[in-house]
Chain A
């Protein structure tokens, strides 16, 4: 089955710092890749996605590029804000499977 590995957190940054959260995956076929964000006390919300190799998903200043050769989908943001503090989940969904597989989540803490 599919699996997703994320870097362990928490990741602690100062406001306006550059963010990278690493994600690698194993999957059958050609999966779609997702980043979800969970704010404190809330459910998960889709942040961005990419459905084929070399696609770049982007939203709210966050970006991630689907790298098939390295089976990676790292999340980046050029300048983080305090309001970006949350837990970020990388996920994969393979064709023919209806069940998204999530990583363990990476907590991001941004200080003013």
Chain B
């Protein structure tokens, strides 16, 4: 959905560098999800945030990964000291304040991270 903006679309990092992925949700949406898509593994939930608060980070690796959604500005997924296994497509989705059973998550076009 064009309303959720992710940048960059493609990101190349050398092993050991930091990767910062940005996501601006749709207007009026205050909740953001991050998912990782690995080849042959489908879409894996990482973290669910609202502004200034992490609601659920049960899918986040314990080390090197962090996420934030500040009061002003986009949500950031940060990967420190990247390794080749971090190469994947990272998708952000946003929703209104409450994603009810009738709700729909709106996805961005993703950031494709390549670690060389």
CA distance A36 to B102 in the complex (A): 15
Interface residues of chain A: helix, strand, loop or mixed (majority): loop
Q: If A43-B1, A44-B91 touch, does A93 touch B110 (CB 8 Å cutoff)?
A: no
Q: Which residues of A contact B110 (CB under 8 A)?
A: 42-43
Interface string of A94-105 (1 = CB under 8 A from B): 110011111111
A95 with B91: CB separation less than 8 A: no
B42 with A51: CB separation less than 8 A: no
Q: A95-B101, A98-B98, A101-B45 are in contact. List 12 more A-B contacts (CB 8 A).
A: A34-B104, A41-B109, A43-B1, A43-B91, A43-B107, A43-B108, A44-B43, A44-B93, A45-B1, A46-B104, A98-B48, A98-B55
Q: Which residues of B contact A105 (CB under 8 A)?
A: 42-43
Binding site for A on B (CB under 8 A): 1, 4, 6, 31, 33, 35, 40-43, 45, 48, 55-56, 91, 93, 95, 98-105, 107-110
B102 with A44: CB separation less than 8 A: no
Number of residues from A at the complex interface, CB < 8 A = 25
The chain B residue with its CB closest to the CB of A46 is B104
B101 with A31: CB separation less than 8 A: yes
Q: Which residues of A contact B43 (CB under 8 A)?
A: 44, 89, 102, 104-105
CA distance A82 to B73 in the complex (A): 40
CA distance A36 to B91 in the complex (A): 14
A99 with B101: CB separation less than 8 A: no
Instruction: Tell me the smallest distance from the CB of B110 to a CB of chain A, in Å.
Output: 5
Interface string of A72-112 (1 = CB under 8 A from B): 00000000000000000100011100111111110000000
B45 with A43: CB separation less than 8 A: no
Instruction: Tell me the smallest distance from the CB of B3 to a CB of chain A, in Å.
Output: 11
The chain A residue with its CB closest to the CB of B40 is A104
